Structure 1
Amino acid sequence: MENLFFFSGSITTFFIILLMSKRDKAVYDWLLISWFSIILFHIFVFYLSANNRFSFSLELSSAAVFLNGPVLWLYTRSLFEKRISWKEVVHFLPFVINLAIIAPYALQNTLAPFSDFTRTILAWAKLGSILIYCLWSIHMINKTLRFAEDNFSNIESQHLAWLKMALKSVLFLWFIGFFSQLAVITDLFTLDLTNEDLFINIAVSVLVIYMGYYGFRQAPVFLGGSLSTFAKQAGSEQEVMMEKYHHSSLDEALVKQYAKHLEELMAEKKPYIDPELNLSKLATELNLSNNQLSQVINQFYKKNFYEYINSYRIEAVKIRLANGDHKNTTLLGIALEAGFNSKATFNRFFKKYTGQTPSEYLKEQKT
């Protein structure tokens, strides 16, 4: 057990050092450093408790659980918004209040004399805090992704991929904490104070190792790089959010006419091969507003901008495969030249539109 805590603590320390070494750190980098520092403190206390070294640090670590949700939520917000208001400190009030209560016992280096009922209330409050902030963060991500799909042709972001994985990990920890608390209340297991949080301690250590492995696969989160364009633009929280179509001046005839112009442009100029293509660029080419072009794509083709552009890219890839271009270049190379910016997105869309993976499709073409 001690080895597990030592290993996960070492990995967490290494991530903090990597993040600290980044140049021109953004707000989200500092918030991620803060979150890993909180996790590192938890792991350190886990190590102490495994050796029966009870001290005030146990109480402080317990209070610090109130920090996890707000810090992770602020990290999510900072990916989409340039500034975080000082008013956000209100989210840290539960931690401050808990800290103020236990502070008198710090000099005595003892646990606060909370009753069993009070500790139970605090435990459920911490679980509630983590759940609320995680769900809030997930809602923010989904809202931004919906916006991105209406405005951008490529919406991948290593930060978001890592963040979604981290949020799922925290929710997994929440379920472990929830059932552990139920087990303590119902006396399902006989645990002394030393082992009361045994399962959650082990889970935190294992998931830190997993998040680290995943984080290295999403290297820009730790080693540099910037957010994708959509993450920055979508963060202005919808300065360019779509108006309702019933306020639009486009009738069905105009929608059909503009759809024809759009098809001609896509066939002649092939704007979809630009991986940075977005709704605004394409609308400018057609002398339309963003809202008008979005209405044409949504109503005439029953797709959002993201799906519409990538359907053209898939057709472009199919044409090149039919011409035998895959014999001279890689399949990924063909996909990138068609406008995709990741293998995962290409594979997903290819299967969606053809019902087959690229390799299955090629094999069928040969036969």
Structure 2
Amino acid sequence: MDKLDLLQGIARISVFVSLLMAFFLLTVKTENKLANRLFAFFFIFSAIDLSGFFMYLYTEDHRNLEIFRATFCLLGMPTFYLYVLSVCYSDFRLKWKHLIHLLPFVIVNLLFIPRIYKSIEEGNFIGPLNEMSEIYFIQILVELQYVFYIVSVFLILKKYKEIYLENYTNASVSTYKWLFQMTCVFLAAHSIVLLKNALRYSGFRDIFLWANILVGTIALFITCWFIMKALKHPELFRGVNSKLKLTKDILPEVEEKSESVNVKNDLIAAQITSLKQYMSEKEPFLDPSLTIQELGNQINIPARDLSVLINHHMDQHFFDFVNEYRIQKAMNILKDQSKSDLTVLEILYEVGFNSKSSFNTSFKKYTNLTPTAYRNAS
């Protein structure tokens, strides 16, 4: 098997796996159907792009179709961007304004009509395609588009994490980690694609072929990684409400309503004391899905005021504030000799955690010891 056959074989497997993943996402039952559909279309567009390694064998007499297929690479990143939005924000919905993401795809195809599509159709196409200015334009556009969307995704994830920590207490931030890992993988993979494309004009055909094989192999491994993640962690997709504001945005509005410094300080001190007493006596933190809205309802404080109280005046994220009580209760259980028969797994569920790795990380953050080491030292 020569290098070209190897490349085509890997590409065919990658396309098959991508389409299989898309079929799974489109048919599996889930609450977040929009996210799954967007991710499925991302895999479909990726499969169309990867098929370029072998589709030219079947489109020899239909070069317009092959060129049109190549422009689908401009739909991949916009779809991934919308997918990230739909996963991060539970209230995200597609709107007519999102059609603007199709603009590069439309512009490129309109640009190709005069000198490429039309000339091929009329049978008077002359010269190598790669040397045409339109092809250089699309390559530059693809790179600019990629940079724009990868930066946009990182900004979305940054805001998502901040909102999550300030409003939610579920000990698992796996959604953020999953999306962040995926985006980093895409960034690394695209860097390799960029180097591969640079080799196209170097004259080293063998190196360019090996680079294509590497790209196809990486694409296959990434797709398989996605499948393993989806099967092993079906709980990954938990969104937050995009309408929630960060404390830094709420603070100026709240401070405008304050009358005097003394009155404000007395009120804040009283609220903090009341909040800590409620947390100790009623133990609302035992609910693993406790949110700042739910806690605010329980103590009759508006969620926005409670957010400012905890995240600003107590200088803690809501996430850390609640976990501190969970860890304290876990420490008391671990020190209690009458409960020595309880396993660490049983304890973490009892105090409000739902992930062993998250419990161990949080416990070590507060005590510098693992739960088992802390129990043995007590």
The answer as to 2:93 corresponding to 1:83 is yes
Match of 1:19 among 25, 32, 35: 25
Q: Residues 85-138 of structure 1: CA distance to partner in whole angstroms, max 9, x if unpaired? A: 112112111112223415446758999835255433322321221221122122
Larger CA deviation: 93-102 vs 113-122: 113-122
Aligned match of 1:44: 51
1:7 corresponds to which residue? 13
Matched, 1:314 2:314: no
Are the equivalent residues in 1 in contact too, given 2:72–2:105 (CA < 8 A)? yes
Distance (Å, rounded) in 1 between the aligned partners of 2:39 and 2:341: 44
- Written as runs of structure 1 = structure 2, the 5 A alignment for 1:62-211 is 62-79=70-87, 80=89, 81-100=91-110, 101=112, 103-104=117-118, 113-115=129-131, 117-154=133-170, 156=172, 159-184=175-200, 187=202, 189-190=204-205, 197-211=212-226
* CA distance in structure 2 between the aligned counterparts of 1:215 and 1:138, rounded to whole angstroms: 21
In structure 2, the residue corresponding to 1:254 is in which secondary structure? helix
Q: 1:106 to 1:93 in 2, by over 3 A?
A: farther
Q: Which has the larger radius of gyration?
A: 2
Percent identity between the aligned chains? 20
2:355 maps to 1:342: yes
Structure 2 length-normalised TM: 0.81
CA distance in 2 between counterparts of 1:195 and 1:158 reads 35
Question: Cα offset for 1:27?
Answer: 1.8
Aligned to 1:277: 290
Q: For 2:20 and 2:233, how far apart are their aligned partners in 1? A: 16
Contact 2:171–2:355 at 8 Å: present in 1 too? no
Normalized against structure 1, the TM-score is what?
A: 0.83
Distance 2:95 2:276 in 1: 45
Q: Determine the C-alpha separation between the residues in 1 that align with 2:195 and 2:257.
A: 52
Counterpart of 1:125 in structure 2: which amino acid?
Answer: L
Which structure 1 segments of 5+ residues have no match?
222-226
Distance between the aligned counterparts of 2:365 and 2:43, measured in 1? 38
Q: Distance in 2 between matches of 1:146 and 1:78?
A: 17
Residues 73 and 133 in structure 1, CA contact (< 8 A), matched pair in contact too:
yes
Tell me the distance in 2 between the aligned counterparts of 1:82 and 1:166.
20
Which deviates more, 297-306 or 261-270?
Answer: 297-306
CA 1:324–1:13 in 2, change beyond 3 Å: closer, same or farther?
Answer: farther
Query: 1:163-208: CA deviations, max 9, x gaps?
Result: 33322221112211232334445x3844698677444333222222
1:120-157 CA-to-partner distances (Å, cap 9, x unmatched) read 33223212212211221221122122112111111646
Question: Which letter does structure 1 place at the counterpart of 2:100?
Answer: V
Aligned counterparts of 1:12 and 1:361: Cα–Cα separation in 2: 46
Work out whether residues 320 and 326 of structure 1, in 8 Å CA contact, stay in contact via their aligned partners in 2. yes
Q: SS where residue 356 of structure 1 aligns? A: coil
Task: Answer yes or no: is the 8 Å Cα contact 2:168–2:292 preserved in 1.
Answer: yes
Mapped partners of 1:72, 1:9: distance in 2: 18
The letter of the residue matching 1:273 is L
Gaps of 5+ in 2: 1-5
| One-letter identity of the residue aligned with 1:200 | V
Number of positions where the alignment pairs a residue of Structure 1 with one of Structure 2: 355
Residue aligning to 1:224? none
Q: 1:105, 1:243 → 2: CA distance? A: 62
Distance 2:314 2:244 in 1: 26
**Secondary structure of 2:29's aligned partner:** coil
C-alpha deviations, 1:196-249, integer Å up to 9, x for none? 74443332222222222222222246xxxxx43xx24x2236499634353352
Tell me the equivalent position of 2:366. Answer: 353
Give the deviation of 1:62 after TM superposition. 2.8
Cα separation, partners in 2 of 1:301 and 1:181, compared to 1, 3 Å: same
The answer to which of 283-292 and 258-267 deviates more is 283-292
Distance 1:107 1:330 in 2: 72
Deviation string for 1:241-300 (max 9, x for gaps)? 634353352722222221111111111101110112111222223322223222322344
Alpha-carbon separation, structure 1, partners of 2:245 and 2:308:
17
Aligned ranges 1:212-251 → 2 under 5 Å: 212-220=227-235, 227-228=237-238, 231-232=239-240, 234-236=241-243, 238=245, 242-244=250-252, 246-249=255-258, 251=264
Q: RMSD over aligned Cα, in angstroms? A: 3.2
Measure the CA separation in 2 of the matches of 1:27 and 1:144: 18
